[in-house]
Structure 1
């Protein structure tokens, strides 16, 4: 009798795992994005549209931003 009860509980557990849990999980929709290889975008970072600025240490501590560089970290 204990064997049948254990088998029944095990069978119900398997049914719960394979049938009920996948339904309750969030459904993820697969989307296919086309890759645009053409250079029609003006937002691309090139050497022409980038500019280098110099900051002093006093400017770094002004405002709410703290600039950190891996070569010259600011403590």
Structure 2
């Protein structure tokens, strides 16, 4: 699990060959997850790329929606 968190926070370029072996063998299973930084709910693997690399907020879709809604309200 620590390897997955390292990949999420620091990117995959920092992994050693041994860490890659562990990640590919044990880490890419559907029952492993990362928690939302806001509500601590689990972020599904299908949403992980968006939360980490696109939005860079580490939020689940619901918390991202609430954050965007609040930001939009502040601009009005």
With structure 1 as the length reference, what TM-score do the two structures score? 0.21
By relative contact order (CA 8 Å, sep 6+), the higher-ranking structure is 2
With structure 2 as the length reference, what TM-score do the two structures score? 0.21
Structure number, greater radius of gyration: 1
Bigger fraction of residues in helix: 2
